[in-house]
Structure 1
Amino acid sequence: MRTLVDQLSQYAAYHRDRRNIATHFIGIPMIVQAVAVLLARPVLADLGPLAISAATLVTLATALYYLRLDGRLGAAMVLLLGLALWCAQWLAAQPTPVWLGWGLGLFLVGWLFQFVGHYWEGRKPAFVDDLVGLVIGPLFVLAEAAFLMGLRRDLQQQIEARVGPVRGAAAAA
């Protein structure tokens, strides 16, 4: 398995324009939520407050992958994915038009943001060359948020040593 720095550096190479990163702060959470919503039906097992669905299984597998890559970022992702799953289960319990409207709407609008960002970047999305980019994207957004807050400077420096700094006036210091 590639390291956290390997994974984030490969993904970051496709995301050096601050505007593209900004669109990812909106688009990726929308897509993650959409996938959770769409996979939350049908329920495979109903355990009262916890419904086991494909969304539950994907969330668990993804959370374990993130934890294996990095304990601190992984723990934060577990919380965020848990919140997404909780919202997804609530939406999945709504009438079909509501569930499907939210799932498809979030998915389409989220990808619209992604493609606008990559238009500005002038580069194709990372997943085109490596499907793992679909899983690393949410972790990249969290790492970028941490960098903006002055956290994980060591990780930011290792990534920038490989792919260069982010371009744009609002780049993290």
Structure 2
Amino acid sequence: MKTLTEQLAQYAAYHRDRRNIATHFVGIPMIVLALAVLLSRPASTWGVLPVALSPAWLLFGTASVYYLALDAALGLAMVVFSAICLAFGWWAASLSTLTWLGIGVGLFVIGWAFQFVGHAAYEHRKPAFADDVIGLVIGPLFVLAEALFELGWRPALRDAIEAKCGASGANERH
């Protein structure tokens, strides 16, 4: 398994323009939230569980285990974000089918629009997942790490990532 630095550096190599990264700060959380909404149905207790489980639990649980294996602190932060998404998904799934689908599909489509605009207009490079599907899982972790880097979190990790792929902002055209 690749290390956290390797995974983030590989993803970061596709995201060096700060404007593209900014679109990801909007688009990726919307997509993750959309997945929580859309996968919160169907849900069942199978007659024995204290809470109803859905496909969203399987996706977010599996991703959380992976994030925790990569890095305990960042993984824990992702678990908190995942719990918020799952709670929102559970709420949205309790609404009418039309409203549930409208919320989920709306978030999904708008989130992906942000992603593709960022890559087409600013990065001029295909998304990371086009070459490695794990980019779909690393994207949310990348956004969280970038936000934390801006707050001064783990500068050595940021430096290691930039040593592998260059500083963000290098591709910006003024």
TM-score interval (norm. to shorter): over 0.9
- Write out aligned runs for 1:123-138 (5 A): 123-138=125-140
| Unaligned stretches of 5+ residues in structure 1 | none
Indicate if the aligned counterparts of 1:45 and 1:53 stay in contact, CA closer than 8 A. no
CA contact (8 A) 1:73 1:143 kept: yes
Please, what TM-score do these two structures have when normalized by structure 2?
0.94
CA distance in 2, matches of 1:160, 1:29: 23
Separation in 2 of the partners of 1:85 and 1:34? 10
Deviation at 1:152, TM superposition (A): 1.2
Aligned position for 1:43: 43
Distance in 1 (alpha carbons) for counterparts of 2:69 and 2:29 = 21
Distance 1:37 1:139 in 2: 19
Aligned length: 168
CA shift, 1:25, in A, is 0.4
Aligned: 1:166 with 2:157 = no
Equivalence for 1:105: 106
Q: Aligned runs of 1:1-173 on 2, under 5 Å?
A: 1-45=1-45, 47=49, 50-119=51-120, 120-167=122-169
* The structure with more strand, counted as a fraction of residues: 1
Letter in 2 for 1:146: L
User: What residue ranges of structure 2 are gaps of 5+ in the alignment?
Assistant: none
Q: Which runs of 4+ in 1 moved over 3 A?
A: none
Conserved? CA contact 1:30–1:110, under 8 Å: yes
Tell me the C-alpha RMSD between the 2 structures: 1.3
TM-score w.r.t. the length of structure 1 is 0.94
